[in-house]
Amino acid sequence: MFDVIKRGVTKLKEDIQVIFDEDPAATNILEVILCYPGLHALIAYRIAHRLYKWHIPILPRIISYITRIITGIEIHPAAIIGRRFFIDHGDGVVIGATTIIGDDVLIYQQVTLGGTGKDKGKRHPTLGNHVIVGAGAKVLGNITLGDYVRVGAGSVVVEDVPEYSTVVGIPGRIVRRKVRDENGVLMHNRIPDPVKCELNRLKYELKELKEKLSNE
C-alpha cells in the first residue's frame, strides 16, 4: 500500500509540473491545484483506475460519473493513461474504456477518443508518446496514432497515423510534414491544407495539359 501511495504522489507531482511546462497561463501551484479541471479529472481517474484494477465493482464508475458532472471531462476507469498527461481546458473531453494513451500526451477541449460502434474488445484508439490532439478533434475506433503525431483542431481521424505525421480535415488526411516549432509544439496556425494542396496540383496539371494542346 505504501508503494502505491508513493507512486501516486510521484505521478501527481509530474501531472502538476507538466501543466507549468505546457501552459504559460499557469502562474502558481495553488492556482493549478484549484483551477485546472484537467488535473482534477486526472486525479479522479487515477483513483478510479486503481479501484478498477482491484476489481471493485460500481465505485470506479461512480467516481467517473461524479467527475464528469464537476469537470465536464469523462474518462472511463478502464482506460490506460501514461505519465505526464495534460488535458488543457478540458470541457467536453471523452476518453473511452479501451483507450490507451502513452506518455507526455496533450489534448485540448472537446476531444473524443471514442469507438465507432458496438464492437466488443479493443474498440478505442491507442495514442503513442508525445501526441497532441487539437480542440474538437475526434479520434475514433481501434486505430493507432504513432509517436509525435499531431491532430489538427476539428479533425476526425478514423485510420492509423504513422509517427511524426500531422492529420487535418474530415476525414483526417495525413500531412507528411512536421508542423512544429523548435520545442515540438503544434503550430495550429501553420497546419497545411491538404485539400488546397491537391487543388493546386490539379490546377498545375490542367495548365500543363492546356499548354500541350495549344502547341499541337
Instruction: Report the pLDDT value the prediction gives residue 211, as an integer from 0 to 100.
Output: 72
Would you report the helix, strand and coil content of the chain in percent, each value rounded to 5?
40, 15, 45
Evaluate whether the domain defined by 2-215 bears CATH number 2.160.10.10: yes
Per-residue model confidence as pLDDT tens for the chain (216 residues): 667 677 778 888 888 999 998 888 888 889 999 999 999 999 999 999 999 999 999 999 999 999 999 999 999 999 999 999 999 988 999 999 999 999 999 999 999 999 887 778 899 999 999 999 999 999 999 999 999 999 999 999 999 999 999 999 888 888 865 555 555 555 555 556 666 666 666 777 777 777 777 776
Q: What pTM value is reported for the model?
A: 0.78
CB-CB neighbours of 81 under 10 Å: 19
Q: How far is CA 198 from CA 38, 143, 168, 195, 201, in A?
A: 38, 25, 14, 5, 5
Domain-wise residue ranges, the chain: 2-215
